[in-house]
Amino acid sequence: MQQRTIQKAVEVVGIGLHKGEPIRLRLEPLSVDAGIVFYREDLAMSIPLSPKAVIDTRMATVIGSEKGFISTIEHFLSAIYGYGIDNLRVIVDGNEMPIMDGSAISFCLLLDEAGIAEQEASKRIIRVKRPLEVRDGEKFVRLLPAERATFDFRIDFAHPVIGEQSEQFVFSTQNFVEEIARARTFGFAKDIQYLQSQNLALGASLHNAIGLDDHKVLNPEGLRFDNEFARHKILDAMGDMMVSGSNILAKYESFAGSHRLNFELTSKLLSDSNNYEFVAVESLQSRAFEKSFA
């Protein structure tokens, strides 16, 4: 299997979740082994993707430095994971990614428009060699060695619409598009009101999130999946794992995981070479992982 970039540059304009202002997103091909590189066009500032670039995880995954940052990258990165993109320049003209409809499907459509280009080098992924876990009380995220990339997420919210939910997902590009990519982020009306009073979440609406009051879903169209909340947590986890810079071959498990725990997990993974190895996909004993990108 070869490394991947896109065939042609594409761009789209969407609203930023927090400022509520238009953000222009442009994707451009990059050469072999260049990786995923974010670029703040308004600051002429590049931010190569890695856990070392993460500066905040409180409400989203944020990369950058004191000179500038880009927020809410996880939905976009889940699509990059799903399509197996290795090398890409991601250009924005503001400090956040456009929220689109609150899921990853718009980014999938953008990648479909760009087309996938195979490159003259083998695709290398991170293979997890031993179990790793990060906990916060009952909450945890973990990675386990596996021959297929899978995601198992459980949540438990004291809300009548959510309650206990779970989703078990065996990764493939097709499965991602059909089962995960359309799952939207969600928020509670009382929290949104507070955030907007603090000049945050100014772009949040029922067009880009599932809204909930104390009893029900506020979106007139309802949910896209019965367990859309758990599916979106997998979407987030895939994006957060992609912060490592590569697809990861492992079984991911979580109960009530968060961006912070995911960041701590990828940091822990890459902190010790005994935890992982970079391997060419064609060298794997099982061909299942390679076929998942077909």
Catalytic residue numbers read 259
Cα gap 106→199, rounded to integer Å: 26
Cα gap 130→143, rounded to integer Å: 8
- How many CB atoms are closer than 10 A to CB 199? 10
Task: Give me 18's structure tokens.
Answer: 């927090």
Sort strands 68-70 and 62-65 into parallel, antiparallel or unpaired: antiparallel
Helix axes 74-83, 228-242, angle to 10 degrees: 80
Residue given tokens 């919210």 in the structure block: 157
Residues contacting residue 66 through CB under 8 Å, at least 6 positions apart: none
Among 110, 68, 113, 57, residue whose Cα is nearest residue 236: 57
Largest CA distance in the chain: 54
58: helix, strand or coil: coil
Note whether 275 and 268 are within 8 A (CB).
Answer: yes
Helix axes 259-270, 228-242, angle to 10 degrees: 30
Helix%, strand%, coil% for the chain, nearest 5? 25, 35, 40
